Amino acid sequence: MTTSGNHRDRVAASLARQGMLRQLGVELRRVEPGLVELWLPYSDKVTQQQEGFHGGAMGAVADVAGGYAGLTVAPEGMEVVTVEYKINFLASFKGGALRAIGKVAKPGKRLIITTAEVIHVADDGKESACALMQQTLMPVPKTY
């Protein structure tokens, strides 16, 4: 298990290696043991044909927030990969940003179960639910 002092460094280093997330502009906002918060600002890189946030972008930020929450409880020298996730899309919004909060529901040696809530934060600060996700992660040896 990592110490609380290096959770953020561990997550930030992994996030920096994810080219897709850099392209989308995903921002790391909070890291605690068993919890990670990411933000995805609105841009033309994350929209669907009606100019709202694309479900794929919502799914990606939820998957990554849950995955990194799981990484905070994975043993040192291990990473996590998503085995599966189920997401419910509640609404799509334009402008503002998406805030995804991933939380560990059940840590384990072979499987880690997480959840993520995706919330739209409008430019005026108003918050609205966008999506809910449940995820299964599997710890795997770090290969780099």
CA distance 25 to 22: 5
Q: Per DSSP, which regions of the chain are E strands?
A: 27-32, 35-41, 78-89, 97-106, 112-121, 127-141
More confident residue, 1 or 123: 123
Token pair 């299964």 is at which residue? 136
pLDDT (average), residues 6-15: 93
Give the pairing of strands 97-106 and 112-121.
Answer: antiparallel
The tally of domains found in the chain comes to 1
pLDDT (average), residues 98-112: 97
**34 touches 116 (CB < 8 A):** no
Model confidence at 3, in pLDDT bands (50, 70, 90)? very low
pLDDT at 143: 86
Q: Model-level pTM?
A: 0.93
> At residue 2, does pLDDT exceed 90?
no
pLDDT at 108: 94
What CATH number should be reported for the domain holding residue 71?
3.10.129.10
Model confidence at 144, in pLDDT bands (50, 70, 90)? confident
| Domain range for 43 | 4-141
pLDDT (average), residues 78-83: 96
CA distance 129 to 117: 8
Assigned token pair, 45: 């890189």
